[in-house]
Amino acid sequence: MIKELTSRRFFTAAECNAQKEMPLTTLVQRLIEVATEHANAIDIGYSRLCQYGCTWVLSRVTLEIDRMPGVNEYYSLTTWVENVTRLYSERCFEMTDDGGNVMGRARTMWIAINVESRHPADLTMIEGMGEAVNHDKVCDVVRCPKPRVVKEPDGEDCYRFRTCDIDFNRHVNSTRYVELILDHWPVDFFDANRVSMFDISYHHEALFGQDATVRCKTGDDGVHHIEIKGDDATFVLATLEVVSR
């Protein structure tokens, strides 16, 4: 059993955001890719879950970022499974530069849902899941408090989910919500500030054609709280912290 997997990547100019760094959305996408690669390598991936009529769904991502990769920089993502319960599996990540310095850390939470019923499956039923846990590696990411819905937002944006927002699970893909959140601020906000912490939890799946409202409120401590809300349900809750550049 391969208890951890490291993938070294090259970051190109073409992938950069306006600040000439890796966008937060790309980082989330890369974490999902590396998670998928590791899950496949230890045979708890997409194909395997298919046999159980299930699919992996990302439930939560917490990121702590010291520095993002820049143009023409190599970076490595290391991932391992921190724990598995009946309801969810936690998978952690460390991003390092070629000098071995830690650039960021992440903890993600995954559930398996039944493709037909859309209900969560019991992960302990899936053979080999328990053995995947790496007891030797510690994840330093602080566990965020349970996020709350946003009351009396400072600002609201509206969006209708479209064709390119939909993934293979036929619901809105995980990174599109991250974009909707970042898009709440103008580009010069991120010229002046960089994201130091980001926490997003996925509550209810949004489907093609559904309307969403992005509701934001900044606390007295400067922490930004975001809710992406549909007509009948909360799709996503998130917390964003920035520091001046």
Report the interface residues with a copy of itself, using CB under 8 A: 10, 12-18, 20, 23, 25, 29, 32-33, 35-37, 40, 45-47, 56, 71-72, 162-164, 166-168, 170, 179, 182-183, 185-187, 189-190, 208-209
Q: List, in sequence order, every residue forming a beta bridge with 84; answer none if it has no partner.
A: 89
Backbone φ and ψ of 240, nearest 5°: -130, 130
In the complex, the smallest distance separating the C-beta of residue 235 from a copy of itself, rounded to whole angstroms, is 17
Which CB sits closer to a copy of itself, 102 or 166?
166
Which CB sits closer to a copy of itself, 29 or 83?
29
In the complex, the smallest distance separating the C-beta of residue 136 from a copy of itself, rounded to whole angstroms, is 26
In the complex, the smallest distance separating the C-beta of residue 177 from a copy of itself, rounded to whole angstroms, is 11
In the complex, the smallest distance separating the C-beta of residue 179 from a copy of itself, rounded to whole angstroms, is 4
* DSSP secondary structure string for all residues of 42-63: TT-SHHHHHTTTEEEEEEEEEE
Which CB sits closer to a copy of itself, 19 or 196?
19
Which CB sits closer to a copy of itself, 13 or 138?
13
Which CB sits closer to a copy of itself, 102 or 230?
230
Give CA–CA dist 110/112, Å, rounded: 7
In the complex, the smallest distance separating the C-beta of residue 142 from a copy of itself, rounded to whole angstroms, is 26
In the complex, the smallest distance separating the C-beta of residue 145 from a copy of itself, rounded to whole angstroms, is 27
Which CB sits closer to a copy of itself, 149 or 192?
192
Which CB sits closer to a copy of itself, 18 or 142?
18
In the complex, the smallest distance separating the C-beta of residue 202 from a copy of itself, rounded to whole angstroms, is 14
Which amino acid is located at 226 in the chain? Answer: I
26 to 30, 71, 113, 197, 224: CA distances (angstroms): 6, 14, 25, 15, 21
Give CA–CA dist 46/9, Å, rounded: 23
* Strands across the sheet containing 234-244: 4-11, 73-84, 89-97, 102-114, 54-65, 193-202, 234-244, 224-229, 211-218, 155-160
Sequence-distant contacts of 87-96: CB under 8 A, at least 24 apart = 87/111, 87/120, 87/122, 87/123, 88/59, 88/123, 89/123, 89/129, 89/132, 91/35, 91/38, 92/137, 92/139, 92/141, 93/31, 93/34, 93/35, 95/27, 95/69
Q: List, in sequence order, every residue forming a beta bridge with 14; answer none if it has no partner.
A: none
